[in-house]
Amino acid sequence: MVATILSLRWRTTLHSLRRDKWRILVVIAGAIWSISMVPSIFWAEYLLRLQLPDIRADAMTVIGAVIALGWVSVPLLVTGLDDTLDPTRFASVGMPARRLMPGLTVSAFLTVPAVFTLLAVALLATSWRGDAAAFAVALVGALLTVATMILSGRVAVAWAGRILTGRRSRIAAAAAALAGIALAIVIGRALLARGLESILEEDVPVLITALGTTPIAAGLAAPEFVRFDDWFSVGWRLAITAGWSVMLALAWRASVARSLVTPPTRTSGSARRDDRILFHAELADRVRSRLAAASVPLLGPVARGFARAMPSPEVRAVRSRALRYWASDPRYLAAGVGALVGPVLLFGILLPALGLPGWTAFLMPATVAMSLSWGRHNDVAYDSTALWVDVVSGRLGRRVMRGRLEALLLWATPVVVVSAVAAALVAERLDLALGLSLASLGVLGTTLGISAVLSVAMPYRAPQPGANPFGAEVGSVGAGLAAQVLSSLATAVTAPLVMLPFILAVVVHPAWSAVAAITGLALGVLGVVLGVRLSGDLYDKRSGRLLSAVV
Amino acid sequence: MRDRGYADRVNPALQLFGLRKAFGATVAVDGVDLTIPQGSFYGMVGPNGAGKTTTLSMATGLLTPDAGTVHVHGIDLWRDPDAAKPLLGVLPDGLHTFDRLTGAELISYSGLLRGLPADEVRRRRDDLLAALDLESAGRVLVTDYSAGMTKKVALACALVHAPRVLVLDEPFEAVDPVSAGAIRRILAAFVEDGGTVIMSSHVMALVERLCDRVAIVGSGRILAEGTLEEVRAGRDLEDRFVELVGDVADQRDLAWLRRS
């Protein structure tokens, strides 16, 4: 069974490489990067060897904890990286999870990142080779620790996907995440009050020692105790690491077993709801006719102007549909949460904990705006083949794209404004709140415009509807990479330009804040309008190619 | 200014000329010419991979042809989609729908995108849900539908704007006999009233029962085309089909499948 699953995996990889030549470049780039890392790993090993055993053990603990964090978070934040076999594919074979697991496990350990991690950690462990007994313990500890890293990545993907599919578990997870972030901010600020130096001198060593007693890094801390002949400390550290990897393997097996008998889509039960699409259309019709019939002397023309400016029914239908997806589709939820997690962790926890000056908070709203709108550079592909409904209905490109953008703006605008006001509060510069808000909205609008055009010009394969949003098989990483690089470059150029007047407000004179507000608003609106027009026209021009581009 | 009514009477409902599509080295559709007269119930049959779906995708604006033209009631679809697309009702096969919407919402969505006023959408939506026996399922998300129900709601979306030409890819697949009867009645009434239906199918008996004109497609070409009688040439449609596309070359006996 192991050989069958392994050969299956290699053959699918090989075929997708042959189908999508772009991917070969990615593999080569990954290989070059890995090889270029080798000298620095040898250098790190040399440095570690020169250290005293306790410092060496501490360093290994920190390195291990960072890599472990990477194994859990990277597959969740960067979707589409996971190229191990999707266990649900085996559902129809009728084979128990027990028989599948050995093959799945071996193939999970034979991915490029897994092999690279294993070699790197094992190489670093050779820094203990001065003492034969410690060296042996270090190697065993390194192997066990890498096993926990790889397995925790699998469990994280499986659980996160499951949490996002049920409404109740989604709400619970969101509440837990909020509580966790709040707690981290409170602890971060409490620590910060004591000053960075005392943290480095007192808390960090305590933290490292504590990490060395958890399964995350206990295996890497174990060799230090060999020189005291403290075999009890060595033993239980290796034992909890081994025990932890067994528990993770069991958890993974349980989720594979569950996914084999639980088809992905039919989870929401038979929730019944009213026709919101038509409700919104009728509501808008009523408002429009009320406005158009307004006969108050002065307000009449204004009201009629509003009635004319209201979006067309097509735009409203697309917007209602997109909002439904934002609220209920795990793929959109993962994208939205993923775009917010980075900035919140960076500015809410890391920077205050490092004690950086208050003005760094000003970077947060722009970063939030950028990551939210940059994430939409593959928006069209998220429709998958369902976009035929929009294509056969006529030449609706501009209206379809406007509806999509409005759906995002409807919830992203308040998020950006709130984070701008929060940043101004943290920096104690409420006078700059308006300028910061509008400048950040400018970044949101311009980046969204760029993303809209790219999502029509270069769509690439996204997770399919109903699939685990994190477990996307690598479809066309190459085309995806090109689109990501292009949209990142364009954003990296425009975003600082939009923020420039606000930077001047901080650095030169607060009066620039008013300029930042005006240019931010103007550029944001311009970005959205231009984005809708260009992407909409392109949508119509490419309508006969979009379907084949997104699958 | 040409007389629109006269042009309508003269022009075929759908005219495909020299349609061609290649995916890499594989030629899926290799020069298809078809003329589908108004008021006909047209069946398109062919083996798996013959190019039926590719042809219908190009005929409905979903796939850009490498070469060739598509005219709907005399209007070039790929040059003037604004005028041609409202005439077409489309039911593709094997594609997703916006399945986070309920059945009722999906029909409303299609109606609104087709530019119908909201009160008209409500009336037609309720009629369609009733006619296709989807009333109780109207408030359930499409993702929770069975394959047959998804097919029915997609057909409702194709009908909601009252098109002149219906292009249906495998409309009866996975649909139960009662619903199939309902769909047949709707389509028959549509054709009787001057509308045109083009459908692809694997089920010869169904095509013989419903269609008055048939095209047999194989390897991306039209192998035979005409009225049902012409194509059948006095025989069973299925025999004629197997004769044209060729039977399985190696009819091997799977002896190990037998119990005794």
**pLDDT given for residue A307 in this prediction:** 82
A389–B109: do the CB atoms touch at under 8 Å? yes
Paired strand residues for B19: B32
Q: Are B115 and A389 in contact (CB < 8 Å)?
A: no
Angle of CA points A54, A55, A58, to nearest 5°: 90
Contact B113 A314 (CB under 8 A): yes
- Burial group, residue A423, by CB count within 10 angstroms (0-12, 13-18, 19+): buried
> Of A275, A396, A547, which is closest to B113 when you measure between CB atoms?
A396
B251 in any annotated domain:
no
Q: What pLDDT is recorded for position B84?
A: 95
Select the residue of A275, A328, A547 nearest B62 (Cβ to Cβ): A547
Tell me which of A277, A286, A396 to substitute to probe the interface with B (most B C-beta atoms closer than 10 Å): A277
Which residues face B217 on adjacent strands?
Answer: B222
Per-residue confidence band for A91, with pLDDT thresholds at 50, 70 and 90? confident
End-to-end C-alpha distance for chain B, whole angstroms: 76
Give the C-alpha separation, A282 to A297, whole Å: 27
Backbone angles phi, psi at B135, to 5 degrees: -55, -45
Q: How does pLDDT run across A378-425, given as a tens digit for each residue?
A: 899 899 999 999 999 999 999 999 999 999 999 999 999 999 998 888
A325 touches chain B (CB under 8 A): yes
- Chain A residues within 8 A of B145 when measuring between CB atoms: none
In this prediction, residues A90-99 reach a mean pLDDT of 84
Longest dimension (CA), chain A: 95
Q: How far lies A548's CA from each of A285, A387, B67, in Å?
A: 36, 11, 17
Is-contact A395 B80, C-beta < 8 A? Answer: no
Residues with Cβ within 8 Å of residue B135, at least 6 apart in sequence: B129
H-helix or E-strand spanning residue A487: helix A477-507
Say which of A276, A389, A394 has its CB closest to residue B97.
A389
Query: What confidence tier does A456 reach under pLDDT thresholds 50, 70, 90?
Result: very high
DSSP A313-373: HHHHHHHHHHHHHHHH-HHHHHHHHHHHHHHIIIIIIIHHHHT--GGGGGHHHHHHHHHHH
Q: State how far the Cα of A71 lies from the Cα of A149, in Å rounded to an integer.
A: 6
CA pair distance A94, B3, nearest whole angstrom: 65
Contact A388 B62 (CB under 8 A): yes
User: Would you state the torsion angle of the CA atoms of residues B29, B32, B36, B41, taken in this order, to the nearest 10 degrees?
Assistant: -40
Own/partner long-range contacts of A332-335 (Cβ < 8 Å, ≥24 apart): A332/A382, A333/A164, A333/A170, A333/A469, A334/A76, A334/A79, A334/A160, A334/A164, A334/A469, A334/A470, A335/A79, A335/A375, A335/A382, A335/A469
* CA A457 to each of CA A489, A535, B183, B190: distance values in angstroms, whole numbers, following the listed order: 16, 8, 39, 39
CB atoms B113 and A393 under 8 Å: yes
d(CA A216, CA A185): 23
Instruction: Identify the band that residue A107 occupies on the pLDDT scale cut at 50, 70 and 90.
Output: confident
Q: Which two tokens stand for residue A182?
A: 């709040």
User: What does pLDDT average to over chain B?
Assistant: 91
| Contacts with B121 from chain A: Cβ below 8 Å | 278, 281
Question: Which segment, A167-176, A267-276, A334-343, is predicted with the most confidence on average?
Answer: A334-343
Alpha-carbon distance values, A174 to A112, A181, A262, A286 (Å):
33, 11, 24, 36
Q: A-B interface: how many C-beta pairs under 8 angstroms?
A: 146
Chain-chain contact of B112 with A265 (C-beta, under 8 angstroms): no
Say how far apart CA B159 and CA A528 lie, in whole Å.
34
How far are the Cα atoms of A136, A548, B20, B48, B76 from residue B57, in angstroms, in the given order?
64, 11, 12, 16, 15
Whether the pLDDT of residue A22 is over 80: the answer is: no
Which of B85 and A17 is assigned the larger pLDDT? B85
Interface test with A, best of B55, B72, B96, B124 (most A CBs within 10 A): B96
Residue bearing tokens 């025989």: B235
Full domain range(s) for residue B233: 4-246
- Whether B45 maps to a domain, the answer reads yes
Most confident segment among A32-36, A302-306, B164-168, B204-208:
B164-168
The tokens describing A16, both together, are 């997708």
The count of residues in chain B is 260
Q: How many CB atoms lie within 10 A of CB A183?
A: 10
Window 384-423 of A, Cβ < 8 Å to B: 384-386, 388-396
Q: Residue B4: which pLDDT band, with cuts at 50, 70 and 90?
A: low
Is B109 in Cβ contact with A277 (below 8 Å)?
Answer: yes
- Measured between CA atoms, how close is A512 to chain B, in angstroms? 45
Which residue of chain B has the CA closest to A312? Answer: B115
| The residue to which tokens 């959109």 are assigned | A332
Q: Do A276 and B105 touch (CB under 8 A)?
A: yes
Closest by CA to A455, choosing from A390, A327, A542, is A542
Burial class (CB in 10 A: 0-12, 13-18, 19+), B81: buried
pLDDT-derived band at A475, boundaries 50, 70, 90? very low
Looking at the predicted structure, is the pLDDT value of residue A264 above 50? yes
pLDDT of the residue at A375: 85
Residues of A in contact with B144 (CB under 8 A): 265-266, 268-270
Q: Mean pLDDT over residues B3-25, rounded?
A: 82
Which A residues, 153 through 182, put their C-beta within 8 Å of a C-beta on chain B? none
Annotate A192-260 with DSSP letters as a single string.
HTT-HHHIIIIIHHHHHHHHTTSTTTHHHHGGGGGGGT-HHHHHHHHHHHHHHHHHHHHHHHHHHHHHH
The rounded distance, in Å, linking the Cα atoms of B25 and A19 is 12
For chain A, give the number of residues: 551
Count the helices and strands in chain B (H runs, E runs): 10, 10
- Considering only the C-alpha atoms of chain B, give the largest distance between any 2 of them, rounded to a whole number of Å: 76
**Terminus-to-terminus CA distance in chain A, angstroms?**
30
Q: How far is the CA of A87 from the CAs of A103, A249, A265, B7, in angstroms?
A: 11, 14, 15, 58
C-beta atoms of A278 and B121 within 8 A: yes
- Average pLDDT over chain A reads 85
| Angstrom distance (rounded) from CA A289 to CA A80 | 47
CATH code assigned at B218 = 3.40.50.300
Buried b (16+ CB within 10 A) or exposed e, A489-527: ebbeebbeebbebbebbbeeeeebbebbbebbbebbeeb
Find the closest chain A residue to B97 by CA distance.
Answer: A386
Chain B residue closest to A331 (CA)? B100
d(CA A309, CA B255): 73
pLDDT beyond 50 at B2: no
Q: Does residue B254 lie within any of the structural domains?
A: no
Of B95, B100, B117, the CB nearest to A328: B100
Between B37 and B10, where is the model more confident?
Answer: B37
The mean-pLDDT minimum among A101-105, A303-307, A482-486 falls in: A482-486
Give which of A264, A280, A248 is closest to A149, Cα–Cα.
A248
**Inside any domain, residue B259:** no
Number of domains forming the structure of chain B? 1
Cα of A488 to nearest chain B Cα, Å: 29
Alpha-carbon distance of B73 to B15, in angstroms, equals: 8
CA distances from A41 to A116, A140, A463, A466 (A): 11, 19, 35, 41
- pLDDT(A334) > 50: yes
